[in-house]
């Protein structure tokens, strides 16, 4: 009862009573530091919407690989990132000689486009490889500079039987930023069963399809074997094979891969000759003959003038394989 009379007594005594203000509530750490994100929507016309988030909400958006965090200045992107569009497109040319520490497939080549967008937790890609064993065993993006081998940082889908692969994979946003800031420090490569360390490779900076040179794949048959007098069909009747020839002017190399069947193996010689389709001519490039399994591959230093001549007029040259029972040639094909 006395407590209820205290305010009245205070007024009577000439004191001023000031009511207590409600306590101020400090924002929690989860509600502080507002940030904006570009949130992926299901709309084709407006694929991203900019949202202002608190820390707790921001962390939730980090789990959405397609969201862009933090949002860029200005508007959000108007397109999504896929294997064929959006993001920063990085074009890569892959060759066998770029592999390290050991070279890959001598005639192998390929192209890849890697797409990255700063702030987005994804990497999208498309690739096409040629003249390697297919389907491939694996494909990755690795961390390492030119001439070095490094760890896998992004696994990719391996090229199929036609040499193609594409898709998008989730990636840490910090890794995306590192790659975009140091493209020369990363490479993409494709692994095969016969080249488990890598068949073809290209850095994410500084490569060009000019490195591929001139490439042709031809079908070898016994019927194509001819002599200098113009008589043909002189080879192994059921012998067949393929020859892939790659002329690399920049390094003065002729590279090759020969696969043969239904001839006497191991063979005893494989060459490029200068000669017409229905004739015979002298050897101009000496290559390793197919072994007991019917395969040979490698590169041969060759004068640039000869490389230029073959590339300019391939129909004037042919490749053939010689065997003990067909010393003049078991199977053959013109290069053009």
Yes or no: domain 88-210 corresponds to CATH 2.60.40: yes
Nearest to 178 by CA among 204, 212, 210: 204
**Location of each CATH 2.60.40 domain in the chain:** 88-210, 213-334
| Residue 62 or residue 20, greater confidence | 62
Per-chain mean pLDDT for the chain: 91
Yes or no: domain 213-334 corresponds to CATH 2.60.40: yes
pLDDT at position 79 is 92
Among the residues of the chain, which ranges form H helices?
A: 2-12, 55-62, 173-181, 304-312
Q: How confident is the model at residue 14 (pLDDT cuts 50, 70, 90)?
A: very low
Asked if the model's pLDDT at residue 123 lies above 90, the reply is: yes
Q: What percent of the chain has pLDDT over 70?
A: 90
Residue labelled with tokens 């390929």: 110
pLDDT at position 34 is 73
The contacts of residue 141 (CB under 8 Å, 6+ apart) are 114, 123, 152, 153, 154, 156, 179, 186, 187, 188, 204
pLDDT in tens, 77-100: 999 999 999 999 999 999 999 999
Residue/partner pairs of 283-292 with CB below 8 Å, 24 or more apart: 284/310, 284/317, 285/254, 287/254, 287/256, 287/258, 289/258, 289/321, 289/322, 290/241, 290/258, 290/259, 290/260, 290/265, 290/266, 290/321, 291/265, 291/266, 292/265, 292/266
pLDDT at position 12 is 39
What gap in Å lies between CA 217 and CA 249, rounded to an integer? 18
Mean of pLDDT values over 243-259: 98
At residue 3, the 3 state secondary structure works out as helix
pLDDT at position 44 is 87
Asked if the model's pLDDT at residue 74 lies above 60, the reply is: yes
pLDDT at position 233 is 97
Residue 87: how many other CB atoms lie within 10 Å: 22
pLDDT in tens, 130-151: 999 999 999 999 999 999 999 9
What gap in Å lies between CA 222 and CA 333, rounded to an integer? 9
Asked if residues 74 and 48 have their Cβ atoms less than 8 Å apart, the reply is no
Exposure pattern of 226-236 as b/e (b: 16+ CB <10 Å)? beeeeebebbb
pLDDT at position 19 is 46
How many CA atoms lie within 13 Å of 317's alpha carbon, on the beta-carbon side?
Answer: 20
pLDDT at position 17 is 40
**Structure-token pair, residue 16:** 């001023």
Q: What percent of the chain has pLDDT over 90?
A: 88
What gap in Å lies between CA 253 and CA 27, rounded to an integer? 69
Predicted TM-score of the model (pTM):
0.86
pLDDT at position 88 is 97
Nearest to 127 by CA among 217, 210, 212, 201: 201
Phi, psi of 272 (to 5 degrees): -105, 130
Among the residues of 233-281, which ranges form H helices?
A: none
Residue 181: how many other CB atoms lie within 10 Å: 9
pLDDT in tens, 164-190: 999 999 999 999 999 999 999 999 999
pLDDT in tens, 22-72: 444 444 444 445 799 999 999 889 999 999 999 999 899 999 999 999 999
What gap in Å lies between CA 92 and CA 112, rounded to an integer? 5
């Amino acid at each position: 009862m006395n407590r209820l009379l205290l305010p009245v007594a205070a007024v009577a005594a000439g004191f001023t009573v000031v009511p207590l203000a409600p306590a101020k509530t400090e924002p929690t750490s989860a509600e502080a530091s507002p940030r904006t994100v570009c949130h992926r929507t299901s709309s084709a016309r407006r694929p991203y919407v900019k949202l202002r988030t608190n820390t707790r909400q921001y962390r939730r958006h980090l789990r959405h690989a397609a969201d862009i965090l933090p949002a860029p200045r200005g508007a959000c992107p108007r397109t999504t990132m896929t294997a064929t569009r959006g993001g920063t497109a990085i074009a890569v040319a892959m060759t066998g000689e770029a592999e390290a520490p050991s070279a890959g497939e001598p005639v192998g080549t390929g192209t890849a486009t890697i797409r990255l967008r700063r702030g987005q937790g994804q990497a999208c890609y498309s690739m096409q490889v040629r003249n390697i064993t297919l389907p491939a065993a694996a494909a990755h993006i690795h961390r390492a500079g030119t001439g070095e081998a490094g760890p896998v940082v992004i696994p990719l889908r391996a090229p199929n039987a036609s040499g193609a692969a594409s898709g998008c994979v989730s990636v840490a946003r910090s890794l995306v930023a590192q790659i975009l800031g140091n493209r020369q420090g990363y490479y993409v490569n494709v692994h095969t069963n016969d080249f488990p360390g890598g068949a073809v490779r290209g850095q994410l900076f500084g490569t060009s399809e000019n490195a591929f040179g001139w490439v042709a794949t031809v079908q070898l048959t016994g019927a194509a074997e001819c002599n200098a007098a113009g008589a043909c069909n002189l080879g192994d009747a059921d012998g067949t094979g393929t020859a892939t020839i790659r002329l690399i002017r920049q390094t003065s190399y002729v590279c090759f891969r020969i696969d043969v069947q239904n001839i006497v193996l191991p063979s005893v010689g494989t060459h490029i000759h200068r000669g017409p389709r229905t004739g015979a001519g002298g050897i101009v490039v000496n290559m390793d003959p197919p072994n007991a399994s019917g395969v040979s591959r490698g590169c041969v230093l060759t004068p640039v003038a000869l490389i230029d001549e073959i590339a300019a007029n391939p129909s004037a040259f042919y490749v053939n394989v010689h065997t003990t029972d067909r010393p003049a040639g078991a199977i053959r094909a013109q290069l053009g």
